[in-house]
Amino acid sequence: MSTPTVRARRALALGPGLAVLGVILALVAFLSITLGSRDIGLSDVLRALAGLDGSSIEHTVTVEMRVPRTLLGVLVGAALGVAGTVLQGVTRNPLADTGIMGVNSGAAAFVVLAITVLGVRGVNVYIWFAFAGAILATLLVYVIASLGREGATPVKLALAGAAVTAGMGSLTTGIVMTNVDALNELRFWQVGSLAGRYAPILSGVAPFLIAGLIASLACGRALNGLALGEDTARGLGQRVGLTRAAAFAVVAVLAGAATAACGPIVFVGLIVPHLARFICGPDYRWILPYSMLLAPIVLLLADVVGRVVAAPGELQVGVVLGVLGAPVFVGIVRYGRLSEA
């Protein structure tokens, strides 16, 4: 059977799956807009979306709070899922995640420095410091891992990530232990949440997230080559060093913007790539778009659960994912096996 025929049949089998996930994502997004800690009837939500009554509290909550929050959840979820997929592919480590590659710790360190040194207050301002810290930490991991004759091998990337994470974490802990204001501000940001992230934050990070997601789709073929091993990838004409650098640049933008906007949200980038591989197999040209749709579904569902179960208050999405994600991941390890990256 010819390769084009195989590809055509695979596309015919997996293509409808993306459409189904797109419909599910739309339904979950609608749930995110209609359900929350405040009880708003479906008719009021529809009237608010249609812009029929701009003076009502229902309109304000729906249009100015829930819609931006939902859109941000879609973009951040997609970014975290894709960033985790790219990291697992480029490091060939099924446990690779933004949390162990210095992204979260770099963002937290810069937030603390902005608070203590520059007196920055408020999510709208220190989001940019978090973004800068996440990108700097990611680049630092890659530069450290690139030192030496072999370049940035998977093992060196993992070790460099652990070292940068430990260093940034120690810096953050040292500052917050002696500064109450920094501790309070960091505690609000570090829990991982979509709450309070409205239109200004959405408009600030959306260009970075959209650009990163588009660029990530071009990484599929290169990640397939790396999955065969470095020697095989070089034999196929792939420039391994350039591929890793480009992949890390994509991860830095996606994870940096997502972490800056919503704080360190756990498990999405770790679990979703395995779910995508389970559905569509080892081809990264399919894993990436599947992760791009699966991750926001998971994130928005967790956010809705957090708002509904704790009404009239809410549980932050980072807490919900931590509680629900841990047993799911244990189940993947216990009853299946970690899919090879």
DSSP 59-97: HIIIIIIIHHHHHHHHHHHHHHHHHHHHHHHHHT-TT--
Asked if residue 81 is part of any domain, the answer here is yes
Q: The domain containing residue 173 runs over which residues? A: 3-335
Asked if residue 340 is part of any domain, the answer here is no
**CATH code of the domain containing 315:** 1.10.3470.10
Asked if residue 106 is part of any domain, the answer here is yes
pTM: 0.87
Q: What is residue 25's predicted lDDT score, i.e. its pLDDT?
A: 96
Q: In the chain, which stretches have pLDDT less than 50?
A: 1-2
Asked if residue 341 is part of any domain, the answer here is no
Residue 309: count of CB within 10 angstroms of its CB: 12
Asked if residue 279 is part of any domain, the answer here is yes
279-334 pLDDT tens trace: 888 889 999 999 999 999 999 999 999 888 877 777 888 888 888 877 877 776 66
The rounded distance, in Å, linking the Cα atoms of 220 and 301 is 27
Asked if residue 46 is part of any domain, the answer here is yes
Asked if residue 282 is part of any domain, the answer here is yes
**Torsion angle of C-alpha atoms 162, 341, 213, 287, degrees rounded to 10:** -160
Asked if residue 301 is part of any domain, the answer here is yes
Question: How many domains in the chain?
Answer: 1
